[in-house]
Chains A and B, each alone.
Chain A
């Protein structure tokens, strides 16, 4: 145990064995796929039509919002160019599906059905419909392993959306809770404040929702406050995720939008 805790002697063996377990994860996922297929096959036509209408409405609303965001992005680009900012980032995404979940409740990682063949790389950010999910830590030919932001070994630089206050969110092996570190009692932070990725560290792009402040606890005599954060992403429920490809300005030769 000491050897494994303080050295990386067994890392490659563990990685090889986790590769072998992927078919087992696929098999374990089979009942869910059958359930999904049965659900799809047995849904009434009227229900599907209603769903289609509501999705169409939702699409129109989102397209409207997208137009506004495209305008803001263009404005942001112009301002950055005026400031001679060197790093102008553009992003495209690739849809992926969760095919396996870690059997250990303490390790928060999932296996997704995209790998090096699809251009997935280590450190790549992963999102769901509601926010940041995590980052890719292992890449195989057709599969990848994603470390979730709630994992004990994960930390992420964030900022408060309201005032830009920077901090670090750490996972505590709880899908519904994270911890905000190194926030002194004098700073302006409130319950309900939205946290977004700050982009510092260069791993996660800036501005993606991470979570919101759930509780603030100040113990007398302690240097920093104990702040609990509720993640935005549905970490233990989302099945369809987005792999974010961050491209530098002008480097848009790869068309990976699906």
Chain B
């Protein structure tokens, strides 16, 4: 597998993820908008763990910190922990069916949001834990097309 051949799709998907991230929403949708950067990172790390390892998670974390204007290190920490979990489980995960991968993403988003709440609590910031479940469900739904696209690249490069 050549990393250059997936670099272009990663860049395009990163661009699309950023556009989706910046779409203005109002009401509860503000809290229900999935973290598209995180979903994208999970997708590429899940299917291409040899090319997109923990460094990719750290870079995406730095990127997210600047995009979300959060404390530098906040997303790096969250994305890195996610990346470590993916690396640990990727041999099993790659053989799972779509429904299982969707469940995995759902659980992963729940974990991320609880981590985020724990960090926010430590930094004395307000917590928004009441929307976590809705966010995880919406993220899992958004995962399906993403899984199809990255899965397609995986089958091309196999």
List the interface of chain A (C-beta within 8 A of B): 1, 3-5, 10, 13-14, 17-18, 21, 24-25, 27-29, 31-32, 98, 100-107, 152, 172-175, 236-237
Contacts and interface: CB of A to CB of B under 8 A. Distances in A.
Interface in B1-39: 18-27, 30-31, 33
B77 interface: yes
Contacts of A25: 22
Contact of B24 (A13, A32, A106, A107): A32
Interface size class of B (residues with CB under 8 A): 20 to 34
Interface in B30-85: 30-31, 33, 66-74, 77
Contact of A1 (B18, B23, B31, B77): B77
A255 B26 CA distance: 34
Contact of A152 (B21, B25, B73, B126): B126
Nearest to A145: B69
Nearest to A27: B19
Given A105-B33, A105-B128, A1 B24 contact: no
B92 interface: no
B19 A28 contact: yes
A5 B77 CA distance: 15
A1 B33 contact: no
Residue in A103, A105, A172 whose Cβ sees the most chain B Cβ within 10 Å:
A103
B22 A28 contact: yes
B68 A24 contact: no
B99 interface: no
B156 interface: no
A39 B69 CA distance: 34
Contacts of B128: 105-106, 173
B158 interface: no
18 contacts: A1-B73, A1-B77, A4-B72, A17-B66, A18-B69, A21-B18, A28-B24, A32-B24, A101-B24, A101-B25, A102-B69, A103-B33, A104-B70, A105-B31, A174-B126, A175-B30, A236-B27, A236-B30
Given A28-B22, A105-B31, A236-B30, 16 more contacts: A1-B71, A4-B71, A14-B66, A21-B18, A27-B22, A28-B19, A28-B20, A28-B23, A28-B24, A29-B24, A31-B23, A100-B22, A152-B125, A152-B126, A173-B126, A173-B128
B68 A103 contact: yes
A236 B31 CA distance: 12
A236 B29 CA distance: 11
Contacts of B66: 13-14, 17-18
Given A5-B123, A32-B24, A105-B128, A24 B74 contact: no
A100 B19 CA distance: 11
A29 B20 CA distance: 10
A105 B20 CA distance: 14
Contacts of B27: 236
B69 A10 contact: no
Contacts of A152: 125-126
B137 to A, nearest CB: 17
Given A4-B73, A105-B33, A21 B123 contact: no
Contacts of A1: 71-74, 77
B69 A14 contact: yes
